[in-house]
Structure 1
C-alpha cells in the first residue's frame, strides 16, 4: 500500500469537510492516507503562517511518503521559496516521493527543477479540489482519478490529447517538461527559482485571466527569449475570465495567434490540464517525447521520472482526453 500525505502549503482550506472526503476517497483507492497536523491551519488567507507552512513542507519531505499531495493551491508558496531546504525536498524525491499538485504548486515545482536536473515532481490534481468535491458538486472525475492512480503507481507513461487542427501533423520533439500555471511561472522570471530550460517542452494553463492578460504574459516569455528556446509549447485550459465589451471579437484564439506570429516554436493547444475537472498528470522536470499524428498528440516519458534521461515515447499506459471517450490504452 502506497503511503500518501495530505498537506497545505499555500492557501487555507475554507472547511474541513472536503479534506475528510478526499482522505476517505483516496483511502478507498488503496492509499495509506495521513493528514499533516497543520493541514487545517489558518492565518489570514494562508494555510498557517509562513513558518507553519514551511515546517509542514519540510516535515513531509523528511517523512518521504510515497505521495505528497497538496490539499489546494491559492497563493503562498512564493513566500517560502527563499527559505526552502531544497536538499531535503530532493532527498525525498530520491527516496521515491511523488510531490503532486498544480496552480500555486507551480512555484514549488519549478523552483525545484531549477536546482535539480534529472529529478521531477508531478503536475496533477489537488486533494480537495479534485477528490474532496461532494457528490452534489459532481464528485470525482473518473479520468482525473485514473490518471492519478496510474501515475502514482508508476504505470502511466504517456498522456494523449486531440488538437483542434492537424497543422502540426508529423511533429516530433524531445526535451525536459516544465511549466504549469502561467501567472505563477511568470512571477519566477528573473529570480533564482527560474528553470533555465532550453529545448524543453513548456506547458501552460491559467484561470480567470482575460485573454489579453494571457497574451501579455505569453509575449513576456517570448520577448524574454523563453518561448523561442523551447522545442514546443503545450497550452492547456485558460477559462473563467469574463469577456469585455471592448473585445469586439478578440479572444484566446487571437492571443495564441499573436504568439505564433512571433515565434518559430510550435504552439499546440488542447492539452487536458488546468483549472478544470478533467486533468492528466505530468512529470515536471522529466524528459518527455512529443509525437503528433494528424490531430492526435502523445506526450510520453519513462515511468520513473527520477531517471529522466530516456523517454519511452507512447509505449506503456496512456491517459488523457481520449480516456473520456472510452479509448483508454
Structure 2
C-alpha cells in the first residue's frame, strides 16, 4: 500500500470527527497515513499562520510520501503563493510524489504550472470525501486507487444531449462516429473563482491549445458567467481546444427573476463568444462522485455520440 501525507494548506479544520473518519478510512485500506504536525492548527480562519502553512507544504514535499493529500479547501493558499517552495515541490513530483486536492488547492496547482510546469492531481480532499459521514463514493475511491497504483490512463463521462447538439453544429466531422477535440493538449483548471483571482498575476499559466476544466460552489450562474467573461476578455478562452464544465453546486435560482437564465445560458454564451467547444457533465467539483484529473499533463479528448473520453499517458514519475 501507499504512504499518504495529510496536510492543511488552506482553511482550519472545523469538523474533527470527519478528519478522524478520513484518516481511519485510508488506514483501513492498508495505507500508511502520516498527519502533518500542523494539520489541526488554527489561526483566525486559517490552518495556522501563513508561515506555518508554508512550512506544512515544505514538509509534505520532503515527506517521501507517494501522495500528499490536502485535508480540506476553503481559503488561504493565495496568501502564500509568493513563498511556496516551487523547486522543492517540482523535484518531489519528479521523484514520484502526487499532490492531490481541489477547491482552494487550485491556487497552488495553477501557480506550480505557471512557475515550474509541475503537474498535480485534481481530486478528493480528506474531509469532504474520505471523511464523509455517508461513506466514500465508490467511483471517487476507484479513481483515487488507480492513481495510487499508477494505473490511471483516462476518464470518461456521458454528455448532456444539449452539449452534443451544440458540438455537432460547431465541429467538422460526425460526432456520432467520433471527433477528436484535442490531441496532446495540456489539461488545466479547477475552481473558477480561484482561477480568476490569479488572472494577470505571475501565478496564472499561459496555456495555449489546452483543455480547461472548471467547477465552483455557491456561485449563481450570473457570477459564473461574469468570471468566464473576464477570462474571455483576457483572451484565455479562445486559446483553448475545449472547455469542460464540472459541477456547479450550492446556488439557488431566483424564482420569478432569472426566468430561464442558468448554466445552459452561460455555456451557450461561451460557445458564441469564444467559439470553442464546451462540454458539460464532467464529474468533478464539490460533489461526492468525482474523477481524478491530471493537471498539467498532456491529454487527448474525444467525443463519440454522448460519450466524452479523455486519455493520458501513464505516470512515469517525470514531466
| TM-score, normalised with respect to structure 1 | 0.90
Post-superposition offset of 1:146: 0.8
Aligned to 2:285: 274
Aligned to 1:241: 251
Q: Secondary structure of the residue that 1:114 maps to in structure 2?
A: helix
Post-superposition offset of 1:30: 2.5
Quick one: distance in 2 between partners of 1:183 and 1:241?
A: 14
Aligned to 1:148: 144
Quick one: distance in 2 between partners of 1:202 and 1:238?
A: 15
Q: Secondary structure of the residue that 2:230 maps to in structure 1?
A: helix
Aligned to 2:40: 40
Aligned to 1:202: 212
Post-superposition offset of 1:92: 1.0
Among 278, 295, 299, which residue is 1:288 paired with?
299
Aligned to 2:24: 24
Quick one: distance in 1 between partners of 2:199 and 2:59?
A: 28
Render the CA deviation track for 1:120-163: whole Å, top value 9, x for unaligned: 100000001100112xxx21111111111111211111110011
Quick one: distance in 2 between partners of 1:79 and 1:171?
A: 42
Post-superposition offset of 1:307: 4.6
List alignment gaps of at least 5 residues for structure 1: 309-329
| TM-score, normalised with respect to structure 2 | 0.93
* Runs of 4+ off more than 6 Å: none
Contact 1:290–1:298 under 8 Å retained in 2: yes
Equivalent pairs, count: 304
Q: Secondary structure of the residue that 1:81 maps to in structure 2?
A: helix
Quick one: distance in 2 between partners of 1:197 and 1:84?
A: 21
State whether structure 2 residue 122 is matched by structure 1 residue 123. Answer: yes
Post-superposition offset of 1:305: 6.6
Quick one: distance in 2 between partners of 1:32 and 1:300?
A: 29
State whether structure 2 residue 203 is matched by structure 1 residue 193. Answer: yes
Q: Secondary structure of the residue that 2:46 maps to in structure 1?
A: coil
Post-superposition offset of 1:306: 4.8
Render the CA deviation track for 1:245-286: whole Å, top value 9, x for unaligned: 421221111111111111221111110000001000000000
Contact 1:99–1:121 under 8 Å retained in 2: yes
Pairwise CA RMSD: 1.2
Render the CA deviation track for 1:10-55: whole Å, top value 9, x for unaligned: 0110032211111111112231111111110001111111111111
List alignment gaps of at least 5 residues for structure 2: 168-174
Render the CA deviation track for 1:70-122: whole Å, top value 9, x for unaligned: 000000000010111101111110111100000000000010011223x4100
Contact 1:77–1:107 under 8 Å retained in 2: yes
Is the alpha carbon distance of 1:157 and 1:133 closer, same or farther for their aligned partners in structure 2, counting shifts above 3 Å? same
